[in-house]
Amino acid sequence: MKAYLGIGSNQGDRVGNCRKALVTLQREGDILLRRTSSLHQTEPVGEGLEGWFVNAVAEVETELDPFCLLHRLKGIEAEMGRRKGIGKTDRPIDLDLLLFGDCILESEELVLPHPRLHLRRFVLEPLVELIPWQVHPLLGQTMRALLQSLNDPHWVRRMEGQVLAGE
């Protein structure tokens, strides 16, 4: 199944943290990295966050179900030093499952598509690089249309000359 992951870091070596997360993600051999967006420097969104983020989106292929993929992402976050349960804080890595094929799912543990995907410029700009014409499974609009209609004033800028993986 094709899935799209949000990747971000606002602590330490931000680009290095994002790269390390992608390498770690592929360690077990059951997740294949297909391609990544450009890296973007982004303004922190939410109280309690101070450092600016580096964000990107990765397209992966996996036979894992969405819950197993989510658990893998959370395990990588923990392994890389992300602390949970203390509110919004700066973080060495932030991994989000944005889309899992056309899967629509709502459980206590996981909501797909990601419930705030369409509200966040730092997610939509890199996502549009990869899949501008893909239709959001619930909203019925393309990712490009969602970005164009977005009312999010937060600053996002592509980091020219920096790549996340293998380009």
pLDDT digits (tens, 9 = 90+) for 75-95: 999 999 877 765 567 789 999
Question: Domain with 22 in it: what CATH number?
Answer: 3.30.70.560
Residue type, 128: V
Residue 10, in any domain of the structure: yes
Q: Model-level pTM?
A: 0.93
Q: With left for phi above 0 and alpha for psi between -120 and 50, is residue 17 left, alpha or beta? A: alpha
51-87 as b/e, with b when 16 or more CB fall inside 10 Å? eebbbbbbbbebebebeebbebbeebbeebebeeeee
Calculate helix-pair angle for 66-79, 14-25, nearest 10 degrees. 140
Domain presence at residue 165: no
Q: Is 166 part of any domain?
A: no
The parent domain of residue 22 ranges over 2-158
- Into how many domains does the chain fold? 1
- Mean pLDDT in residue range 1-14: 96
Structure tokens at 54: 């580096």
Residue 102 within a domain: yes
